[in-house]
Structures are given as C-alpha cells and as structure tokens.
Structure 1
Amino acid sequence: MKTVLITGANKGIGLETARQLAQQGYHVYLGSRDLVKGQQAAQQLHAEGLAEVEAIQLDVTSADSVQAARAEIGRQTKALDALVNNAAITGGMPQAALGARVDVFQQVFATNVLGVVQVTQAFIDLLQRAPQPRIVNVGSSGSSLTLQSDPTWKYYHHKAAVYPASKAALHMYTITLAYELRDTPFKVNVVDPGFTATDLNNHRGTGTVGQAGTRIAKYVLIGADGPTGKFISEEHTPVTGEIPW
C-alpha cells in the first residue's frame, strides 16, 4: 500500500486531499499541529469508510515535532511514497508593503517556507526509498511574479506583501529541489489549489475544497511521464495546467 504524509490536514484543503488519496488506496498520515483535531478529522474519514487514515502530531515550525513525526512514521513504514506540504498561514489582512509588521513576515515565512524545508529535509530519506516518490508543494497563483507584474491580469490590483511573498519563496525552493532531484524518479511540483473557500480566507473563495483536493491529488498520482519542476494552476489554465513563475 502506498503512503502519503499531508501537513495541515485536519481541515480544509488538506483534509479533502487526505480523503481523495485514501479513496485512491493510500495510507494517509494526516499531519496536524493539534493532535486532538487531527484525530477528530481521522475519525471523520473512518466514519466514511476510509480506514487507512491516521493522525500524526506535526507542527511544521517545531524541529522537535517534525523529528518526532519522522520517527513515528519511520517505525511504521520503510518508505514514504508522497509528501504534500499543505500547512500554511496568511498572517491576516491587509498586508501593505509599508505597513506589514516584520514579526508577521517572520511568522508566515516560518510556516509557509521554513516549515516546508524542515519537513522535506526530515522525510527525504523515506521518500528516496519509494520507487516513484512525489512531492507536492501547495502554492498560489497570486504569487506568480509574472502575473502580479502584468497590469492586464484580472487580479493585478489584489496585492499583499506577506503571504504571496512567502509562497513565491516556496516556489523558488521547489524549483531548486526539483533541479537537485532531476535525475531521480522524483516528481516535484507546485500546485495552486485555486481560490478555494476555506478558513484561510474566511470562506471568500469561489472554488470548493473538492475541486482543490482533486487538483492536488492529481499531482501525487502522476506517473513516470508526469511533469516535474512545474507551477500548476488548473484554475487559470485548465488545458495545460502550467502558469508562469
């Protein structure tokens, strides 16, 4: 049975991705900063008939928590087939370039960038033991430097200094990671789930978690001929899926 770790999976897009991958036959490690909330989410999926889901306490900003999760998962399996780096925070809005506090930048980057680095580095050995490992970093089309610089883009006037900057940094990390793993079976991509109605945006999004989960799960499930080192946003380019960095 294939295995996947999803961070920030006790609700929203992470939980829906866990549901869809469990439906595809994966054993899902449901990462949750609050273990009780993670267990409640796992129980919810169990009630839907998805038995291969278990909660793992995982605070991506805590080295001790990440290492404890790595040790626990390592006790249960010799290989990890996929990692979905989904955990993220916005830091609250608005985020003016001249008004956003430095400590807010630090908090958001600690989760959205450093947390991804910390988790990826901790689990890379388990991923390397899988025959076709996959890493999906959940990004944002709003962090495309190309699109944000284009006055004709429909969201051109929707600017924020902190959250998009953190995702842009995540995108650069993904490019470098995919390059380093280019001669291996790894597939490493950024996937934009779309503007999804979740707690993260006070449910202002126009898409559903079902749509978002499908977009992320798709790039966990890609075969050996699938893309790597790409920025995927099927909300914006449904035919090819790829958008500019």
Structure 2
Amino acid sequence: MDFLYCKKGEGIIRLRCKFPQVNSERHSELIISNWIQLREPKNFVSAILAAIPLMILNTLLSITVLGIFSPFSLADIGINPSQTITLTIHLQDLAYLIGLVFIHEFIHLFFIPGFLMSDKTFLGITYFGGFVYSEEVISKSRYTLITLAPFILLSIILPGILGALDLLNPLAKILILLNAMSSGVDMLGLIFIMIQVPAGAYLTSNGIRTYWKRIDKSIPGSN
C-alpha cells in the first residue's frame, strides 16, 4: 500500500507501509541485461546482526564528536552507579524518536536524483522503523552520498553545531547516538558496495536485492 505524502508542483513523495518484495520478472530482466546481483545479506535480520560492529563503531565515533563539546555519560540516560537506575520515557520523547526516523529517511530520499518526479522511489514506514526504496538507476558516487548523508549530517555535523551553540542536552545526545547506531546497517550496505562495485558503475534495487552494472550514459538506452 502506498499513497501520496505531499505534493510539490507535479511531483509527489509516495509513502509505502511495506517493504517491496523481490520481483522475479524484474530480476530476470536485469540479469538478461547484464546487471550483476550484489552479494549481501538475504534478509533484514541477517543484515542487522552483521551490522552490530558497525553500529558500535558509529556510536563511538559520534561519542567522540560529542566529547569535544559535552561528554556523554551514563547519567544522560538515567544510569548512576551510586544510585538506583531510573529510566523515564515521556510521550514527547517518543515523538522526537519518530521525528528522528522520518528525518533520517528523508535525508536519504532528498539525495536521490529526481525523487519528487519518480514513481519508482518511496519513503517507507513500518513497525520496525523507516526506509527509503528506489528502483532508479543511480551512480555509485551518488549512492555513496545517499547512504552516508544521514549519519554525517545528524551524528557528526549536527552535534558540532549544537555543541557550538551550547544546546547539547541529554535528549539531543541520545537521539544523535540512536541515529549513529541505526546507521550501522547503512554502513554495512556501503561496505558491500565499495568492495564489489567498480568506480563509475551504476546501481538499482529489486526488493532487498541490489544490482550493479557499468553504463555508458552517453549512449541512449544503454541501461
């Protein structure tokens, strides 16, 4: 199920509530057209488990940036070794968390070329979080930007800006670190692309599968 999320001129952003399934017919068409399927985890659970070390690495990197301005401590999440552990979650905090999910995914979406005009590009939200999906043909360099942008902007650059303005309160720190942690799966996907896809190649998606191919864009119909 997908429906209009917003409009801008003739463009639209589509919101999908379920991640697209692999289309076997599209898979055959891509293989016949010399697209190469990426070797990557076969499902989300495997991807999340494989990404745990990267989640930890991302979080440590973000903590390092936070430490320049306002060191992160366990007290920021209500843990004090000398006292009883208390963790209070307010509805407002949940709203901030949901907002973070949308902002993270919208940043991915924003860097996809022509996302407003594309009927192959979706912003998704499920019980397990958000996602951005596109079957557009995207260059490796742009794909890298799309993948890295939420982590760099929200967990590296944003804490620097908030720190300089003295606005790094405990909630802001937690949201920044949650974004860093959730970006671990993005980093895992990027590593597979960096290892397997040559420079100058293009990528496209078919459900959870990713494919790459060298394309000469100067030749009409080359994709």
Class of the TM-score when normalised by the shorter of the 2 chains = 0.3 to 0.5
The TM-score with structure 2 as length reference comes to 0.32
Q: Name which one, 1 or 2, has greater alpha-carbon Rg.
A: 2
The TM-score with structure 1 as length reference comes to 0.30
Higher relative contact order (CA 8 A, sep 6+): 2
More strand as a share of residues: 2
More helix as a share of residues: 2
